Every structure is written in structure tokens, then in C-alpha cells.
Amino acid sequence: MDQQYYAGTEDTSWWSKFKSNFAELAEFVAIILVIYAIIHLFVAEPHQVSGNSMYSNLQDQNLIITNKLATRFGDFKRGEVIVFQNPRDASQDYIKRIIGLAGEKIMIQNNVVYINGQPLSEPYLPSNVITRTRGFMGEGQELTIPEGSFFTMGDNREGSSDSREWGPLKRELIVGQAWLRYWPLNKFQ
């Protein structure tokens, strides 16, 4: 039986194979990093809850995924939980719930939130939550929420720095909607 040999000039040394495999791996890693960067910048971003302002629905150290597409393609609704830049310090992100929408009149009186003169139903809060006014808003003072803004509050009303303290939140400060809690695993939702 005749054997045929390839008489090409291809370098089949281990070093050549290593360089080829390394180049393919480097290309693969670069593609993965570009995809990750695009997702992180424009689609979704992980956040860690810091503090207890959203207790009992979100606890300190919970890990969530923030849907960034919501800021580009959707309208926010009352009751949604959002992540946004702290209006007083853009280096910090806050997480709060949207309570009031642009154009609505909001008032807090006798620990009850009123929207356009009607008491607000908040089924996401435990029944014993008390909503007091803060520095920005006085007891019984009605405020019209400006266009392009939202009124936010933490679920733990006594332990939350929110719109009651610093006023309506401008839409451009919103990073995205809190979409998924993935840690701890027993509270995955």
C-alpha cells in the first residue's frame, strides 16, 4: 500500500498550534467582552440593594437585575420599583418605588398618601406602614408633580430618603426598572 505524504509548507509544530489556538481564544474572549459591555451599558445591569429603605420587599444585600431598556422604550407606572441616580450625589444609585406620575397632585395627610384627592391603595406595603412627610413636603401640602418627573418613596417609609425629602425625581436620572431579584436564591423573583 502506497502512503501519500503532504508536502506543503504548513508549520505543524506545537508552538504554531499554540499561537493559533491562543489567537482564537483571544478573539472569542474579545467578542464576549464586547457583548457584555453592550448588555451592561444598554440592556441590563446588576445592582446590589444597600440599606433597608425598600424593606420588607427588598432587603439589604439583595442582588437585582435592572432593566435599562425600560428607560428608552417604556413608560413607567405607579408601583414600579426603579433604580436611579441619587439626585444629590450622582455617584450613588438609589432604589425606590414610583408613587406619583407627572401632572398628578400628591399630598400626605394623617399618614395617608393622596393622589388627585383620592387615598392611594398600596397593596405592596405591610398594613402597619406609616407615611410621614419630610423636609420637602409638609403635612397636608398638595404638590403637582412636574412634567418629566416622578414622586418616589421607599417601602420602609420611616427609613427612606426619597421624594418627600428632596422633591420629584427627574426622568433623566432613572437608570432602569428593577426587573429581577436573583439573590438570595430563596427570594428569586
Catalytic residue (one of 68, 96, 149, 163): 96
Q: Judge residue 84's burial from the number of C-beta atoms within 10 Å of its C-beta, 0-12 exposed, 13-18 middle, 19 or more buried.
A: buried
CA atoms of 17 and 10, how far apart (whole Å): 11
Catalytic residue (one of 16, 20, 53, 161): 53
Long-range contacts of 73-80 (CB under 8 A, 24+ apart): 74/177, 76/101, 76/150, 76/171, 76/174, 76/177, 77/101, 78/115, 79/122, 79/124, 80/177, 80/178
DSSP class per residue in 89-101: EEEEEEEEEEEE-
Bridge partners, residue 96, by sequence = 82
* Nearest CA-CA partner of 122 in 167, 66, 68, 56: 56
Q: Is 53 a catalytic residue?
A: yes
Q: Is 56 a catalytic residue?
A: no
Dihedral sign from CA coordinates of 92, 53, 61, 180: negative
Catalytic residue numbers, as ranges: 53, 96
